[in-house]
A and B are shown apart, each in its own frame.
Chain A
Amino acid sequence: MKTIQSYISLSIILLFATACTKVVDIKVGNDTGRLDIEANVTNTSLPQVIRLSKNVPFTDTNTYPAVTGATVSVTDQSGQVYPFVEGPTGTYTSNSLTGVAGNTYKMTVLTNGNTYNASSVMPAQVMLDTLTSQNTPTPGSDNKKEISVHYHDPIGVDNHYRFVLWVNGVQERVVFAADDQFNDGKDVSVILRQDDVDIHAGDKAVVEMQCLDQPIYLYWFTLSQQSADGPGGSVTPSDPPTNISPVSLGYFSAHTTQTKSIIVK
């Protein structure tokens, strides 16, 4: 239960109020040039985008070399093949594919003589009801706000969610993943607890809610466990389990998407 872990992290933060941090030079390893496939198929009619790139050393800037010249396609469960057209900087797009909830999609990427396959099921969409904002409870965080999402979880089915939060147009650097192990069929509120950027009254918050299948949820949940909420809360990190075979970095996710925004009060 993510909430419990975040409470334990909060306890540790309370206790270690004296803790101090500093930026340090750490010698890290160098295992780069690995393929990263970031592939999404959603239920909107926007162009579907699959992005191919390579990872870079920790000490470089956050610019990832594009992988060009690949053959990329997605096949739906009726066998219809949607070829993705190469655009700039390693992006491959399709304007003809719109994902349908309940359908299974298969992705094929042929690059550098290797074929990568993945399949993902787009689950039924659960609607995001409302967004709310409230004060952050941690002592000393006066006037800081946090955002909650509210939705009704359908009973009797396994649901998996991911939330993406933007504040004033900038994406928060936190992975939010949730499932319904503890609240199947309930009215659910999830606090998007984060300490990346302070949120204040008047800020504009935008939240995207994605409904995911289990393997993709595991991908995001694993990442969320590694992005420590604070000292002591994280697991030994590793590349999250991908649904792509043979293993590469990244994922292929067929998910529903819905976006809401509020002005923080």
Chain B
Amino acid sequence: MLRIPLLLCFVFSVIFAFGQKRYSISGTVKDNTTGETLIGASVRIKEIPQGGTSTNSYGFYSVSAPDGDYTLLYSYLGYETVSRQVSIHKSQVIDIRITPNSSLKEVVISANKPNNDQISSPQMGLEKLNMAQINAVPVVFGEKDVLKTITLMPGVKSGGEGNTGFYVRGGASDQNLILLDEAPVYNASHLFGFFSTFNSDAIKDVSIYKGGMPAEYGGRLSSVLDIKMFDGNTEKFTVQGGLGLIASRLKVEGPIDNGKGSYMVSARRTYIDLFTKASKDSTVKGSSLYFYDVNAKANYHFDSNNAIFFSGYFGKDVIALKNTFGTNWGNTTGTVRFNHVFSPTLFSNTSLIYSNYNYVVQSFQTDNSFKATSKITDLNLKEDFQWSASDDHRVKFGFNVIHHNIEPGNISSDADNVNDINVQKRNGYEDAIYVSDEWKASSKLTILYGLRLSGFSLVGPGTIDTYNTAGEVTDTKTYSSGQTVKSYYYLEPRFSAGYQLNDENSIKVSYNRNTQNIHLLSNSTTSSPTDLYVMSSNNIKPEIADQVSTGYFKNFSDNKFEFSAEVYYKWLQNQIDYKDGAQLIANQDVESQLVYGSGRAYGLELFLKKKYGKFNGWVGYTLSKTEDKFAAINNGNYFPARQDRTHDVSVVGIYQYNKRWSFSSAFIYGTGNAVTYPTGKYSTGGLTTFSYSGRNGFREPATNRLDVGATLEGKEHKKYHSSWTFSIYNIYGSREPYSITFRDSKTVANTTEAVETSIFATPIPSVTWNFKF
């Protein structure tokens, strides 16, 4: 943080002498009907084609022009383009409201050429998801889901049915930074990955960075999934919700103080347990199986330069079996943000962020009762500045301090069968300062370059062991509160450049380095809520990833279609795996159970998207390879990571048939997971036991599935609106293998067999009724 003055010097040094006197036009772009600010809306000056920009996360924009008369064009996908004549003789604030197109009108190509951001921006590896499309994609049980839709993008792979994680460009699932209104969400899944923690009613905007990570993001290697919640309707009080097969949703929103502010509260809960409560079986009756989550947000604009935002998320999963055990886990996040516009060209945001993930496992058995808990808590101060230094330079800089506290495991027992255990808490600080500049070097060439200095310190109190590679303690030291155990500093260069060949074609290159200091340890092949988070330490070095990528981007038919082809190569250092028989739960010596290695991932991603129109959707294809290398595994040779997927295809189509009916479908095909199958068998301890050679040398069968959906909009009513969503998941009943296990045959004596388990091997229909008034 002491380096901030230095940073500012650097920032100012990138400023070039201004020629002509220029004036700023700044303001916010909002939805005309709800007052929601629009993120990423395009703002252009017709007379200065290079001088365009887009609104930031708070809907704020700033452009500049010399003295004169201009036409400002405001556009956003799914909205009418607005043009505004202005005479500019001084800096001024122009707040604009734009109106959504009715869906059928979208067919008409607006007179003004729509946004060609993909071509003009140097950013690559970025997928912006359109909420309208997310809401249209059919999903299991009809619970529309941001995370499920994201896995339909090239380069993003789902962990499979019933798996928590998603994998970006070969990275592990803990290498994704998942932000909900800037607060990191540690476990983004409900019920072991069937649903994500993101209730799409509450979500305004979703972007995922697969590469070319801008300097303002850091802390994870593979991706940034940036999710923004709705601010709430500033115009009127509205209620909307839905009744689905397994869950219900309700959202209320409305203005505060005549639209100076607004609030939004959105909640959802499953109700399978209402049926179990009615069961005659007393065990079933006394058992629980549900999740719920609540998103809440409020904002208040003191004046056009100052605004405050509060957002919070609380979610929990509960599973319990009567007289046997209970487990629950959940995330809590809270963010307070303060926007301040210092000048029309300098925008700032200060965030204070709280994030917590915890789990509890309880045994209710009389002779073996105990309670095990674990949690991770972050407190985070973040300061971001956006400075439109000139039309050619848009500068971002800021800093970030995070305090992490991990309670790896506490076990307590009322009965006298288990010893109480409190594994030492760990504290750490993760700091970063960054600066980046988007420089329009010429009318063709734009360069986005930046630098992020990230630091991590593990601090006391605590007694810290140092382990050798055999996992034996070589040194033990006790540290007092706040005393530094180990610090790491890394400079992370971020660079992207886009060269626009013409209005419809561009090529881009990027390089970025990312480091990661929070690591998820999981000793099962699929993640579980009891997976353990650890920090970098004297034993665990920060993970490092370097990624280079290049791509060709093309828009055609008046930007109606977007095509991109990107190739990437990623080097991974200090990757973590565990030893055989590793015991991770409530283990004081957990760091003795780890081994370290490296990895590499490379691939090609092709993406063709039709952004709007009566028929829209996309086709994605990924060809990739992801390999790990650990000295102790596979004789020290590279082996395919479990999530290595050679081929991956996704096709999404959405068709607006008429005003009332729309149809959608999603198809996926992918190479199966890399897995370890037996290469022989022998007998040990009286049991048939399998022998193995090498890690992940086999493939599960390829997966493929088609889901279809339809939405019926209710007849127009003055007071309310309703709609029905129908979907069939896995319409042709494809068996996606969840696991393949090997055992003694149940039918033929003295032989062995392979058994495939699948979760949804039959079509799963669902229906949801949605309302709004």
Give per-residue flags for A70-114: 1 if the beta carbon is below 8 A from chain B beta carbons, else 0. Answer: 000000000000000000000000000000000000000000000
- Cβ of A24 to closest chain B Cβ, rounded Å: 4
Q: Could you tell me the distance in whole angstroms from the C-beta of B285 to the nearest C-beta in chain A?
A: 10
A26 contacts B580, CB within 8 Å? no
Residue in A30, A173, A185, A238 whose beta carbon sits within 8 Å of that of B419 in the complex: A185
Which of B233-241, B261-269, B492-500, B744-752 lies at the interface?
B744-752
Task: State whether B740 touches A26 (Cβ < 8 A).
Answer: yes
Q: Do residues B682 and A53 form an inter-chain contact, with CB atoms below 8 A? A: yes
* Across-interface contacts of B692 in A (CB, < 8 A): 237-239
A38 to B689, CA, bound (A): 12
Top 9 nearest A-B pairs by Cβ distance? A29-B679, A31-B679, A222-B581, A55-B682, A55-B680, A137-B324, A26-B754, A31-B693, A36-B682
Q: Smallest Cβ distance from A42 to chain B, in angstroms?
A: 13
Tell me whether A15 is interfacial, beta carbon within 8 Å. Answer: yes
Partner of B162, one of A12, A28, A139: A12
Question: Are A55 and B681 interface neighbours, CB within 8 A?
Answer: yes
Listed by A's residue number, 15 A-B pairs whose Cβ atoms lie within 8 Å are: A1-B585, A3-B368, A4-B361, A24-B755, A29-B680, A32-B679, A53-B682, A162-B685, A183-B418, A186-B416, A187-B367, A189-B417, A238-B676, A239-B692, A251-B684
The complex places the Cα of A62 from the Cα of B683 at a distance, in Å, of 8
Q: Which residues of B contact A56 (CB under 8 A)?
A: 680-682
Contacts of A23 in B (CB 8 A): 745, 753-756
Let me know if A7 and B325 touch, CB within 8 A. Answer: yes
Interface string of B628-643 (1 = CB under 8 A from A): 0000010000000010
Contact of A187 among B372, B416, B585, B755 (CB under 8 A): B416
Which residue of B has the minimal Cβ distance to A173? B687
- Nearest CB in chain A to that of B757: its residue: A21
A residues sitting closer than 8 Å to B (CB atoms) are 1, 3-5, 7-8, 10-12, 14-16, 18-32, 34, 36, 38, 53-58, 60-64, 137-140, 148, 150, 162, 164, 171, 173, 175, 181-189, 191, 218, 220-223, 225, 228, 231-241, 249-251
Please state if B283 and A186 are interface contacts (CB–CB under 8 Å). no
A173 touches B698 (CB 8 A): no
From known contacts A7-B325, A137-B321, A182-B419, infer whether A62 and B688 are also in contact, taking CB-CB under 8 Å.
Answer: yes
Q: Could you tell me if B680 and A137 are in contact, using CB atoms closer than 8 angstroms?
A: no
Residues of B within 8 A of A189 (CB): 365, 367-368, 417
Known: A7-B325, A15-B162. 19 other contacts (CB 8 A): A1-B372, A3-B363, A11-B192, A15-B319, A21-B757, A23-B753, A24-B740, A62-B688, A62-B752, A173-B687, A181-B583, A182-B418, A182-B421, A187-B417, A221-B581, A231-B162, A236-B675, A238-B580, A241-B580
| B691 with A231: CB separation less than 8 A | no
A223 to B692, CA, bound (A): 12
Q: Evaluate contact between B192 and A186: CB separation under 8 angstroms.
A: no
Is B697 an interface residue, CB under 8 A from the partner? yes
Query: How long is the Cα–Cα vector from A183 to B418 in the complex, in angstroms?
Result: 5
Looking at B348-356, B507-515, B520-528, B551-559, the stretch in contact with chain A turns out to be B520-528
User: C-beta contact mask, B547-591 vs A, less than 8 Å → 1, else 0?
Assistant: 000000000000000000000000000000000110101110000
Contact among B581, B677, B761 with A28 in the assembled complex (CB-CB below 8 Å): B677
Instruction: Please report B residues at the A interface, Cβ cutoff 8 Å.
Output: 162, 191-192, 194, 281, 283-284, 287, 289, 319, 321-325, 327, 361, 363, 365, 367-368, 370, 372, 411, 416-419, 421, 523-526, 528-530, 580-581, 583, 585-587, 633, 642, 675-693, 695-698, 738-745, 750-761
A21 to B761, CA, bound (A): 10
Question: Would you give the shortest CB distance from B581 to chain A, in whole angstroms?
Answer: 4
Q: A7-B361, A53-B682 are in contact. Are A58 and B695 (CB under 8 A)?
A: no
Check B757 against A20 for contact (C-beta < 8 Å): yes
With known contacts A62-B750, A223-B684, A21–B418 Cβ distance under 8 A: no
Task: Specify which chain A residues have a CB less than 8 angstroms from the CB of B750 in the assembled complex.
Answer: 61-63
User: Do A16 and B162 touch across chains, with their CB atoms under 8 A apart?
Assistant: yes
CA distance A221 to B682 in the complex (A): 18
Contact of B697 among A29, A181, A241 (CB under 8 A): A29
Whether A232 lies near B524 (C-beta < 8 A) is yes
- The smallest beta-carbon distance between B745 and chain A, in angstroms, is 8
Task: With A23-B754, A189-B367, A236-B695 as known contacts, state yes or no: A58 contacts B419, CB within 8 Å.
Answer: no
A129 CA to B324 CA, complexed, in Å: 23
A32 neighbours in B (Cβ, 8 Å): 679-680
Q: Would you call A238 and B695 a contact (CB within 8 A)?
A: yes
Contacts of B322 in A (CB 8 A): 137
Cα(A96)–Cα(B593), bound, Å: 40
CA distance A102 to B759 in the complex (A): 50
**A126 CB to nearest chain B CB (Å):** 15
Given the interface contacts A8-B327, A19-B757, does A173 sit within 8 Å of B162 by beta carbon? no
Q: How far is the CA of A14 from the CA of B526 in the complex (A)?
A: 17
Q: Which has the most chain A C-beta neighbours within 10 Å: B681, B687, B752?
A: B681
Contacts of A138 in B (CB 8 A): 283, 321
Q: Which B residue sits closest to A238, measured CB to CB?
A: B692
CA gap between A95 and B424 in the complex, in Å: 50
Shortest beta-carbon distance from B742 to chain A in Å: 7
Of the candidates A10, A171, A239, the one having the most CB atoms from chain B within 10 angstroms of its own CB is A239
CA of A4 to CA of B370 in the docked complex: distance in angstroms?
10
Contact with B680, one of A21, A34, A148, A173 (Cβ below 8 angstroms): A34
Q: B738, A231: Cβ atoms under 8 Å?
A: yes
CB distance from A207 to the nearest CB of B (A): 13
Pick from B367, B419, B528, B686: contact of A8, CB below 8 A: B528
Known contacts A21-B756, A188-B417, A173 near B688 by CB under 8 Å: yes
A56 to B680, CA, bound (A): 5
Residues of A within 8 A of B417 (CB): 183, 186-189
A7 touches B363 (CB 8 A): yes
Distance of A61 Cα from B753 Cα, bound (Å): 11
Q: Which of B372, B583, B688, B743 counts the most A-chain CB atoms under 10 A from its CB?
A: B583
Q: Which of B324, B690, B760 contacts A18 (CB 8 A)?
A: B760
**For residue A25, which residues in chain B have a CB less than 8 angstroms away from its CB?**
754
Q: CA of A31 to CA of B325 in the docked complex: distance in angstroms?
A: 42
Task: Name the residue of chain A whose CB is nearest to the CB of B523.
Answer: A235
CB pair A53 B162 closer than 8 Å: no
List chain A residues, Cβ under 8 A from B740. Answer: 24, 26
Contact partner, A175, options B325, B526, B685, B756, Cβ 8 Å:
B685
What B residues does A34 contact at CB under 8 A? Answer: 680, 682, 691
Contacts of A16 in B (CB 8 A): 162, 738, 759
Minimal Cβ-Cβ distance residue in B for A222: B581
Chain B positions within 8 Å of A235 at CB level: 523-525
Give the distance to chain B from A161, nearest Cβ to Cβ, in Å: 14
Beyond A4-B372, A231-B162, whether A58 also contacts B678 by CB under 8 A is yes
Task: Decide: A139 and B283 in contact? CB cutoff 8 A.
Answer: yes
Q: Given A139-B284, A189-B368, A231-B738, are A240 and B757 neighbors across the interface (CB < 8 Å)?
A: no
CB distance from B765 to the nearest CB of A (A): 13
Q: Whole-angstrom distance between the alpha carbons of A71 and B322 in the complex? A: 56
Q: Are B691 and A139 in contact (CB under 8 A)?
A: no
Q: Across the two chains, which residue of chain A brings its CB closest to B741? A: A228
Q: Report if A233-B524 is in contact (Cβ < 8 Å); known contacts: A7-B325, A8-B529, A225-B581.
A: yes
Q: Whose C-beta in chain B lies nearest to the C-beta of A253?
A: B685
The docked-state distance in angstroms from the alpha carbon of A191 to that of B369 is: 13
Residue contact A62 to B681, C-beta cutoff 8 Å: yes
Question: Which of A29, A36, A221, A241: most chain B CB closer than 10 A?
Answer: A29
| Interfacial chain B residues near A186, Cβ < 8 Å | 416-419
A14→B289 contact, CB < 8 A = yes
Choose among A12, A36, A140 the residue that contacts B683 (Cβ–Cβ < 8 A): A36
The minimal Cβ–Cβ distance linking B98 to chain A, given in whole angstroms, is: 44
Contacting residues, chain B, for A12 (C-beta < 8 A)? 162, 192
When A11-B192, A24-B740 are in contact, do A53 and B683 touch as well, CB less than 8 Å? yes
